[in-house]
Amino acid sequence: MNFRNMVLRLLLCFGMTLPPASWASLGGTLDSVDADSTQMHATRHLASHGGYVVHELTLASGTVVREFTTPSNTVFGVAWQGPFKPDLQQLLGAHFARLNAAGKVHHGDHRSLRIHASDLVIESSGRMRAFAGRAYLPALVPAGVSLSDIR
């Protein structure tokens, strides 16, 4: 095997260990918001607020997803509300594993799930045809942004 083939194989193996870009919304870039909009076949509206931009995606199911980006186009929060849960694996990206693990632990309430850690907050609740939730990365929330705005 020559050096070039060995390098190509290493790069291929490394690339296969990375998650797809469309699953990198929370903590990802504006490109991941574009991918979410396309993947979810959503209508997209933008609203600029002081230190952040809200990308509101309306899905055909009636569910509304909001992705919050910093002035440097990093997604610091996501929120959802509607009759169906959106693809949370796509919205949460690498953070979905923590939500999934928390869901497997018996916590007494099957209608809500909360993770409050120093690096990640996820709140999800609902019942059939009425779901809501939010997730954000506290370290990325811009100064002056109220956490109650992430909804």
pLDDT digits (tens, 9 = 90+) for 31-53: 989 899 999 999 999 999 988 99
Give the residue among 49, 90, 92 at the shortest CA–CA distance from 71. 49
For 97-145, what is each residue's pLDDT tens digit?
999 888 877 666 667 899 999 999 999 999 889 999 999 999 999 999 9
Is 125 a domain residue? yes
130-136, strands of its sheet edge to edge = 43-49, 52-58, 64-69, 75-82, 130-136, 121-127, 112-116
pTM: 0.80
User: What count of Cα atoms within 13 Å lies in the side-chain half-sphere of residue 47?
Assistant: 8
Is 129 a domain residue? yes
Across the chain, what does the average pLDDT equal?
A: 85
Is 8 a domain residue? no
Is 2 a domain residue? no
Give the residue among 87, 90, 98, 23 at the shortest CA–CA distance from 59. 87
Instruction: Please give the residue range of the domain that contains residue 38.
Output: 21-149
